[in-house]
Amino acid sequence: MLRKLVILAVAAAVLGLAAFWFLTAPGTVPASALGSHTPDATKGRTVFFAGGCSSCHATPNQDEKLRLGGGLGLKSPFGTFYVPNISPDPIDGIGRWSEADFVTAMVKGTSPDGRHYYPAFPYTSYQRMTQADLRDLFAFIKTLTPMQGRVRDHDLGFPFNIRRTLGGWKLLFLDGEPFKPDPGKPAEWNRGAYLVNGPGHCAECHSPRNMLGGIIAGQRFAGGPDPEGEGWVPNITQHGLSSWSLEDITKLLETGENRDSDTVGGNMGKVVGNTSQLSAEDRAAMAIYVKSLPAVEGPKRPEKK
């Protein structure tokens, strides 16, 4: 009897491990799924700034924001993530990647060698992007200066250093759905919704997160603690921006100046450095969408001592 119980326990463990391995397998986008498209690096430049790629991937402590050697450390409750080199360097960057490798990374969060990327890389937002935009973005990145230098590994403790478990995280928070325009809304609203929820990945910072690091869906855009552990990210629903006009929001995205004539700094300053490069029409579209967000009360900001 004991022998049978041991055999059953071992069999259950093997089946459980097999199920875990199957369910947490990294997803990919095969080249055959890309279809016909002639990449346009000029359009890719717009996508690059809409996505704020240089804010994280530019090599720290240098002025040229198109040198994407990586190395920036992003603090989090789970440890420190170090942003990789995504320059066209064939050894240390992504110079040997195919289009399918790039699209897979952006929408599936999977590396060319089949490992899960950590969601400090905001693929939960980038999955909303069109394949055309992703392929144009890749074409633009390939025009930039190759940067040598491999970035150090992330500094994460157990169990967060076990990448395979990210497959379970993705089952919860990566739905694989591209952006779908709302036919009942005007074109400007849909363009803004796409930019804010897709390449702009605004919710990644402007939303509170649960204990697993996933965005709390019911409080999306409602602000909360800075993901890096210092400061507070404002609520950008109408709970926080009810007194802001479309012109106020558009001006901030262009110049960084808020309604109090102060200039935003820190990470938002980096965001403005990117949105200022967009067309006036795109900034206006983003403002239209943000202004339409219904009021949602987010976490209570701690009182200053």
pLDDT, position 157:
84
Encode the chain (305 residues) as per-residue pLDDT tens digits: 666 665 666 555 555 565 555 566 788 999 999 989 999 999 999 999 999 999 999 998 888 889 999 889 888 888 899 999 999 999 999 999 999 999 999 999 999 999 999 999 999 999 999 999 999 999 999 999 999 988 888 988 888 888 888 998 999 999 999 999 999 999 999 999 999 999 999 999 999 999 888 999 899 999 888 876 677 888 999 998 999 999 999 999 998 888 776 777 778 888 988 999 999 999 999 999 999 999 998 888 777 65
Q: Quick one: pLDDT at residue 11? A: 59
Q: What is the tally of structural domains in the chain?
A: 2
β-strand pairing of 224-225 with 79-82: unpaired
Q: Residue 5 to residues 14, 17, 19, 143: CA-CA distances in angstroms? A: 14, 18, 21, 62
214 within domain boundaries: yes
Q: Which residue, among 95, 96, 73, has the nearest Cα to 84 in the 3D structure? A: 73
Domain membership of residue 294 as a residue range: 182-305
Q: Is residue 128 part of a domain?
A: yes
Out of 178, 206, 238, pick the residue that ends a domain: 178
Select from 150, 151, 144 the least CA-distant residue to 72: 151
Q: pTM, whole model, 2 decimals?
A: 0.89
Give the model's pLDDT for residue 8.
Answer: 62
192 is a domain residue: yes
CATH of residue 275: 1.10.760.10
Taking the CA atoms of 209, 214, 217 and 222 in sequence, report the sign of the dihedral they define: positive
123 membership: H or E segment, kind and range: helix 123-126
The reply to whether 141 and 195 lie within a common domain is no
Q: Are residues 159 and 237 in the same domain?
A: no
| Cα(268)–Cα(291) distance, integer angstroms | 18
Distance, in Å, from the CA atom of 142 to the CA atom of 156, rounded to the nearest integer, reads 31
Looking at the fold, whether 252 and 125 belong to one and the same domain comes out as no
Tokens of 96: 């040997």
Task: Kindly state whether residues 267 and 296 are assigned to the same domain.
Answer: yes
- Of residues 124, 119, 301, the one with CA closest to residue 226: 301
* Whether residue 277 sits in one domain with residue 154: no
